Amino acid sequence: MALLTGKVAVITGAGRGIGREEALLLAKHGAKVVVNDLGGHFDGTGQSRSPAEDVVKEIRSAGGEAVANFESVTDFKAAKRIIECAIDNFGKLNILVNNAGILRDRMMFNMSEEDWDAVISVHLKGSFNLARHATAYWREQHKAGNVLNGRLINTSSDSGILGNAGQSNYGSAKAAVAAMAIIVDREMSRYGVTANAIAPIARSRLTVDATPQTAAGMAQRPGEWDAFTPAHVAPLVVWLASDDAKDVHGEVFRVGMGNVWLMRGWHTGSKVSKKGSMWEPAELGTKLKEELAKGVTKKESMGEVMGGGA
């Protein structure tokens, strides 16, 4: 059943990996797609038109509608043009998937200012740039009586919601884009918009070339079901983008290997209280150590998730 007939989508970084699969499946479900991709190296350097052009060709040869866009999500004015590309070519915008991404892994003590800025710029500022122009458009259209059922889907990561050594730049941005989805949802639900985030797990340049330590575990084994294909991420995005998901607000889903995890963020595990006089720091420490020893705040690690599978 086609879930997105008549919808128009922008997907950033859709020339490769997870974004490419999202673009192909959204188009298969009837959406007209702007395939944005700068076509750079995984560290954000360089550029090429061919990744976005190739995906557009694939969509068109399967009978779908798509246009390529090669601008960088890091540029605020270019981000406006990416949104306008959808409106100019297809008459409107319903769906924005913020997916473009790069990696520059370093331990905090070795991280250069450039590595920090480049990663924050693509993931956090890039997601803001696109969301800023899309939400302004959806609000303006809603006020004019044109309800577009806008959908914002941000791409977070286990690195942001669970934490991963060597990725303080990336993980900080990925935690922020999950929070951004929750906050924008609160701002935009009155205009018929939903905002949610996904944290994918898949084989792509970012988990093979940029992080060779994860590559072997994600390799496709001959004759076996391909658990790590990025194609497993796309069905969730199609559904979140559809009218059927109109009541899904500010959620974060981890997705991959045939699983979708409904994530729950910061929540109170337990509490220590003292009334009438202030805590002595050492006394407070004793109480907190007792609570921490109960393990109620123990966090899942990325390793547990990958090994756990189900």
Name which of 94 and 204 has its Cβ closer to ligand NAI.
204
Whether 204 is a known active-site residue: answer no
- Residue that has been written with the tokens 């509608």 in this structure: 65
| Rounded distance between C-alpha atoms, residue 150 and residue 137, angstroms | 10
Greatest CA separation for the chain: 73
Binding mask 21-40 for ligand NAI (x = CB under 6 A): ---------------xxxxx
Applying CB under 6 A, does 157 fall inside the site for ligand NAI? yes
| Rounded distance between C-alpha atoms, residue 68 and residue 73, angstroms | 14
Whether 191 is a known active-site residue: answer no
Binding mask 102-141 for ligand NAI (x = CB under 6 A): x-------------------x---x---------------
Say whether 130 sits in a helix, a strand or coil: helix
Applying CB under 6 A, does 205 fall inside the site for ligand NAI? yes
Applying CB under 6 A, does 171 fall inside the site for ligand NAI? no
Tokens encoding 298 = 């123990």
Catalytic residue (one of 127, 156, 174, 242): 174
Which of 4, 54, 56 minimizes the C-alpha distance to 26?
4
Binding mask 224-263 for ligand NAI (x = CB under 6 A): ------x---------------------------------
- Residue that has been written with the tokens 């970084």 in this structure: 13
254, containing H or E segment:
strand 252-256
In the complex, which residue's CB is closest to ligand NAI? 17
Burial of 53 (0-12, 13-18, 19+ CB in 10 A): middle
Catalytic residue (one of 157, 159, 168, 242): 157
- Residues interacting with ligand NAI, by CB under 6 A? 12-13, 15-19, 36-40, 42, 44, 51, 72-74, 99-102, 122, 126, 155, 157, 199-202, 204-207, 230
